[in-house]
Structure 1
Amino acid sequence: MANPASYRPRTGEIPTNPGVYRFRDPHGRVIYVGKAKSLRSRLNSYFANPAGLLPKTYAMVHAASSVEWTVVGSELESLQLEYTWIKEFKPRFNVVFRDDKTYPYLAVTMGEKYPRVQVMRGDKKKGTRYFGPYTAGAIRETMDTLLRVFPVRSCSAGVFKRAEATGRPCLLGYIDKCSAPCVSRISPEDHRSLAEDFCAFMGGEAKRFIAKLERQMADAVGELDYEHAARIRDDIAALRKVFERNAVVLSEDTDADIFALHEDELEAAVQVFHVRGGRIRGQRGWVVEKVEDFTTPDLVEHLLQQVYGNDGDSHGRLPREVLVPVEPSNAGELAEWLGGIRGAKVDIRVPQRGDKAALMTTVRENAEHALKLHKTRRAGDLTVRSQALQELQEALDLPVPLLRIECFDVSHVQGTNVVASMVVVEDGLPKKSDYRKFSVTGPAAADDTAAMHDVLTRRFRHYLQDKSAQVDESLLAPDPGEAEQPGPGQQEAPLDSTVQDSTLQDSALQDTTTPAPRAKFAYPPNLVVVDGGKPQVNAAARALADLGIDDVYVVGLAKRLEEVWLPDSDFPVILPRTSQGLYLLQRIRDEAHRFAITFHRQKRGKAMTVSALDGVPGLGASKRKALLAHFGSVKGVKAASAEELSQAKGIGPALASAIVNHFSTGDRAAATVPAINMSTGEIIET
């Protein structure tokens, strides 16, 4: 690993102009490309104090061995050059948007003499028009339907050449789903015109073609050519089937791509809806790993660069309007660059209200679901789970495999309703039956570290109690045929007086023949993860040390920079941003946080809904609900007489009198409470 100081350029050597810079590794490979308004300011930031750098920046500058830059005339030029270099060098520290699935496109090879309609995946080719993306089933159905009206060639080059040589078309030519240019049934010019009509229909001009066919059908009917009219009628029905498959979401003159994203600290999921002629023509998604410290505007800028960068030969995919969740960095220059690619103005904006903003919400929901699904699939992969556990064990230098991991999190609002959660992962999968919730009260609720110490102490005190109970159980229940008394040299293991539980001890003495089942806390984890940094980790380690437990390892995951802290360590462990071990720790931490937040909200909600009816003797939960349903509020119950209360469901005369007495006694008590001077303690009125 190189020392950044060994290749740091002198400050005076770096120009203050806008430009693009490249970091190279010792083998000369470009590992990062970036642009800057001021090269001097940006490059100096990479050679700051290493302790203050973000993990990705720290890793990048230590992996590099040299840096070089190119001065350009404007920010627009820097945007273009940065994109060109990223596509050329594919630097590993740059953001790369990867498709979350492989989408097929309906493609028309307009660059060939006889254009061909086909389903294509992968990289885009020059001279080919693309429509979609579609799902695999929908695209085949769409293509089969449209070839009835627009019989464009769809065969491969080999089939086409064989038909030319034999003078006989393929099956599609015989069933009128191909105009058979291979045997000169149609001229090259007319076949190209047919392919252009196909592209125009897919590009949103469906109504024009449907209206044209309707006129032809009317003319055929007028000429009493009913057979021809029937064929045209079927063609119209086929076009309408394709046209109406996509619901109208915006006005018919709207051509837009609507982007939304959902992100966490490590990844971001992006979704885009392609709207053409007011209809959703396709949907696409990406998942990006955040190997850089990008803000959301930076992510949007790089997303638009990568999505539209190869569209110079395919203007149909770049619409007039691009709707984004936040305005990208260098929005003006980016719009100018995209306008040059499209050959016309491109408007990049954030929808604020109306139908477009509503559709943006739908796209965002798809992005949230995509990220959740991506994490679920990765967590369910046995190979990935094994890799994550192995990477984590090696990174933390632990001598035991991580078969069981427990994670703890504390949740509260300004020190009130303090709770904690314990979630369990075995073999990389959550074991929800072992999840536990803790209420934290007293001095332990003073701060997060005290709460963490209290929770870990309680959890592992239970473990020691269960362990002692199991030892006691095994000693009291000898195997059949063995002597009931300890043999020579054997001694009954005493319970630890500091943690023994009389209830567990008594239950162990009741049955000396059947071994007790494994108790709920009898399985210790190999690793304890706490949500927090150095203070929380040290508190957890201190709790284990106080109980004499030395075979359970403790780490903490600090949320801000995803640092992994070890007890009594001055520096954190920095895992690579793409590490499966880091993903596993993050998932466990997030699950513990979710579980703690849920319990905290339940407890807080219960505390906030304590009713004045709770103190009435004999008035249970169901009868309280019946009273509130009958009178509408506690105020209505207070104002009711005993006779009126008796009319409510389940309320008898005795209970009604008790309710009236409860409120009358409470009102009298409230009326006789003296006022006290809090500084002197004297009663100032009665």
Structure 2
Amino acid sequence: MRYIEEQLKRLPDRPGVYLMKDETGEVIYVGKAKSLRRRVRSYFRKGNHTFKTKIMVKHIADFDYIVTDTEVEAFILEANLIKKYNPKFNIRLKDDKTYPYIKVTVQEDFPRIFKTRLVKNDGNRYFGPFTDVNAIYKTIDVLKDLFSLRTCKKNLEAGKPEKRPCLNYHIGKCVGPCIGAIDRNSYRELVDRVCLFLSGKQDELINEVEKEMYQAAEKKNFEKAARFRDAVRALKNISAQQKVMSSKNINQDIIALVEEEGEACVQVLFIRNGRLIGQEYFLMEGVDEESNTDIMVSFLQQYYEQAPEIPQEIVINTHVSQTELLEDWLQQKKGKKVKILIPLKGEKKRLVEMASKNASQNLKKELIRRKYQKQRNEKALDQLVEYLVLSSKPVHIEGFDISNIQGSDPVASMVVFKDGVPSKADYRRFRIKTVSGPNDFAMMQEVVKRRYSRLLEEEGDLPDLILIDGGKGQLNAALEVLKEMNLDYLDIAGLAKREEEVFLPGQKEPVIIPRKSPALHLLQRVRDEAHRFAVSYHRKLRSRRLTHTMLDEIPGVGPKRRKALLSHFGSLGAIRKATIGQLKEVDGISNKTARVIYDYLREHTRP
């Protein structure tokens, strides 16, 4: 405590962000302050602290801080650090779902349109999120058919036509940018129309297409006119499914927060040009003893930090204490003024009430789902004790898996389930160090020994059940190591994939758990999660090795340039798709080197 007192004396009276840490150095809370000196000191002085704050202060062993020039900068930095550290005492936007968006690659000479769940700050346009994936596919199909946009993934450059088009061009499904049948500007006009429709301006687009339909009919081009007629019908059909929610053609996010049983749900209605184009709900974590004001501020901060689009108006149902700060921050991100308001009557009040009702229903569904899942997990754990004759209830399960291809790039994974739920913060990945060649048994022994040697050294909690992915061979290999470490009293089992048989130490015959029982389903989830985690790590290492090998073979590209390329583009695939102009943007890549890289990657097949 004396160390902290010394630190408190040196705090500046400046805006910034502070990070509270526990004795292990883990960040447990991130906060912002107009004055770091006043705010951080307040935690360690007597006052009316909430129970949650009192508990947090007991865990603080150290703190860091970052000084910023303005409170808005501190606000931005706080959001980034919460996302990075996921501190357990902060209110956090639970974002374990990925939401579908429509992406238009406007950074390309001839843009494409497709569904994605990954939103990047890459200069392309994203529309969404959408709750109905089927509606996204239907919309994309209609827009592609209407405007005959390309569906290929080729890296097309204006002024560099290819010799032959694909089948889509021959059957009238593509305007043929690959062979120069349409120039860049004309193609971009088609894409601008797509963006017009996706941004909610359906009526404008329908009017344009109808005009072209009449013009084609006047010129007696009836085939073209019929195509435009069908397009108008399709557009009107999609437009009719999007309810008109506002009399004003304005872009709004309608946001409602509801709380129940210590849980919080936030519902967002996405209104573009007066039409409801989508909705989604989000769950908030760490909301115990927190006010609705703080929960709403945390949501707005974390959601709009990563949202691809910020509307003109954000209509909410909860008073926030930092409205001006939030509006200044949003204006910086959008480049235009953004208004946050709480309606008292009228149309906007009705929309907020509708969002609130949806939030309440979604929260109730989530609470029922959690209750059911908890009961099912409890039943699964009780059944495991019975089927596997365990010494205790397997509240803490650790699962292991090995991944390699004929011994190349061998890795292993360990996943942890607590109370039947994945505890991803406790997952571990291992690169095999002592085994060469395809010897899964020896690899399993190395990993088990490394895991539990470390756990004993750190006096960590041992698992109630160890699950090995495999049959008798893998199980006995792991058991041999546990005996050497005097840990053979731990319960351990092997789950063979083919027949879903469970093998136990000292038993010749496997245990057959009923196929539909929650116990077997839990073991399968642990095994499959360990497998997924191991395979993803193996692919990452293998891809990295192959990427480095290919880039190293390019004349004029050494370790420094290779690192710069990967840092800029992220992957070999992205480097392959890059134009010469984009390659030249990388530090250290001249016009000549960019041409060499471009030509080499197109001449050589992908490894």
TM range (shorter): 0.5 to 0.7
The aligned counterpart of 1:306 is 302
- The residue correspondences of 1:516-555 to structure 2 (distance < 5 A) are none
The aligned counterpart of 1:511 is none
The aligned counterpart of 2:44 is 47
* Equivalent pair of 1:18/1:39 in contact (CA under 8 Å): yes
**Among 84, 95, 98, the residue aligned to 2:94:** 98
The aligned counterpart of 2:318 is 326
Deviation at residue 240 of structure 1 after TM alignment:
1.2
Instruction: Give the distance between the partners of 1:105 and 1:329, measured in 2 at CA.
Output: 32
- Structure 1 residues 170 and 297: alpha-carbon distance in aligned structure 2, compared to 1, 3 A threshold: farther
Identity of matched residues, %: 35
Deviation at residue 9 of structure 1 after TM alignment:
4.4
* Count of residue pairs brought into register by the alignment: 385
- Note the alpha carbon deviations across 1:118-142, whole angstroms, 9 max, x for none: 1001343422211122211111111
Question: SS in structure 2 opposite 1:280?
Answer: strand
**Among 253, 259, 264, the residue aligned to 1:263:** 259
- The residue correspondences of 1:341-360 to structure 2 (distance < 5 A) are 341-360=333-352
- Structure 1 residues 170 and 305: alpha-carbon distance in aligned structure 2, compared to 1, 3 A threshold: farther
* Equivalent pair of 2:253/2:315 in contact (CA under 8 Å): yes
The aligned counterpart of 2:245 is 249
**Among 10, 20, 26, the residue aligned to 1:23:** 20
Question: SS in structure 1 opposite 2:141?
Answer: helix
* Equivalent pair of 1:101/1:285 in contact (CA under 8 Å): no
- Structure 1 residues 57 and 265: alpha-carbon distance in aligned structure 2, compared to 1, 3 A threshold: farther
Q: Do residues 37 (structure 1) and 67 (structure 2) align?
A: no
Q: Do residues 201 (structure 1) and 193 (structure 2) align?
A: no
The aligned counterpart of 2:367 is 375
Instruction: Give the distance between the partners of 2:176 and 2:106, measured in 1 at CA.
Output: 17
Instruction: Give the distance between the partners of 2:210 and 2:23, measured in 1 at CA.
Output: 69
What amino acid maps onto 2:30 in structure 1?
A: V
Question: SS in structure 1 opposite 2:92?
Answer: coil
**Among 118, 137, 140, the residue aligned to 2:137:** 140
Instruction: Give the distance between the partners of 1:310 and 1:334, measured in 2 at CA.
Output: 15
- Note the alpha carbon deviations across 1:493-543, whole angstroms, 9 max, x for none: xxxxxxxxxxxxxxxxxxxxxxxxxxxxxxxxxxxxxxxxxxxxxxxxxxx
The aligned counterpart of 1:227 is 223
What amino acid maps onto 1:374 in structure 2?
A: E
Deviation at residue 324 of structure 1 after TM alignment:
0.9
TM-score, normalised by the number of residues in structure 1: 0.51
What amino acid maps onto 1:136 in structure 2?
A: V
- Structure 1 residues 291 and 353: alpha-carbon distance in aligned structure 2, compared to 1, 3 A threshold: closer
Instruction: Give the distance between the partners of 2:288 and 2:67, measured in 1 at CA.
Output: 23
What amino acid maps onto 1:350 in structure 2?
A: I
Instruction: Give the distance between the partners of 2:107 and 2:367, measured in 1 at CA.
Output: 41
* Equivalent pair of 1:20/1:70 in contact (CA under 8 Å): yes
The aligned counterpart of 1:611 is none
- Note the alpha carbon deviations across 1:42-98, whole angstroms, 9 max, x for none: 323322569x75443344333332112234444323212322333444434322212
- The residue correspondences of 1:42-441 to structure 2 (distance < 5 A) are 42-48=39-45, 54-99=50-95, 101-134=97-130, 135-157=132-154, 167-171=164-168, 173-264=169-260, 266-290=262-286, 293-310=289-306, 314=308, 317-381=309-373, 385-386=377-378
- Structure 1 residues 213 and 292: alpha-carbon distance in aligned structure 2, compared to 1, 3 A threshold: same
Deviation at residue 164 of structure 1 after TM alignment:
8.1
Instruction: Give the distance between the partners of 1:98 and 1:92, measured in 2 at CA.
Output: 12
Deviation at residue 182 of structure 1 after TM alignment:
2.5
* Equivalent pair of 2:196/2:205 in contact (CA under 8 Å): no
Instruction: Give the distance between the partners of 1:359 and 1:386, measured in 2 at CA.
Output: 41
- Structure 1 residues 252 and 125: alpha-carbon distance in aligned structure 2, compared to 1, 3 A threshold: same
Deviation at residue 378 of structure 1 after TM alignment:
1.2
Instruction: Give the distance between the partners of 2:243 and 2:274, measured in 1 at CA.
Output: 8
Instruction: Give the distance between the partners of 2:380 and 2:260, measured in 1 at CA.
Output: 19
Question: SS in structure 2 opposite 1:309?
Answer: helix
- Structure 1 residues 114 and 218: alpha-carbon distance in aligned structure 2, compared to 1, 3 A threshold: closer
Instruction: Give the distance between the partners of 1:193 and 1:105, measured in 2 at CA.
Output: 22
- Structure 1 residues 292 and 177: alpha-carbon distance in aligned structure 2, compared to 1, 3 A threshold: farther
The aligned counterpart of 2:493 is none
- Note the alpha carbon deviations across 1:565-592, whole angstroms, 9 max, x for none: xxxxxxxxxxxxxxxxxxxxxxxxxxxx
- Note the alpha carbon deviations across 1:246-294, whole angstroms, 9 max, x for none: 0111024121000001113532111100101110011111101125643
Deviation at residue 31 of structure 1 after TM alignment:
2.6
Question: SS in structure 1 opposite 2:207?
Answer: helix
CA RMSD of aligned residues (A): 3.3
What amino acid maps onto 1:287 in structure 2?
A: L
The aligned counterpart of 2:433 is none
Instruction: Give the distance between the partners of 2:88 and 2:149, measured in 1 at CA.
Output: 43
Instruction: Give the distance between the partners of 2:171 and 2:144, measured in 1 at CA.
Output: 11
Instruction: Give the distance between the partners of 1:9 and 1:297, measured in 2 at CA.
Output: 33
* Equivalent pair of 1:98/1:286 in contact (CA under 8 Å): yes
Instruction: Give the distance between the partners of 1:43 and 1:255, measured in 2 at CA.
Output: 39
- Structure 1 residues 174 and 299: alpha-carbon distance in aligned structure 2, compared to 1, 3 A threshold: farther
* Equivalent pair of 1:100/1:285 in contact (CA under 8 Å): no
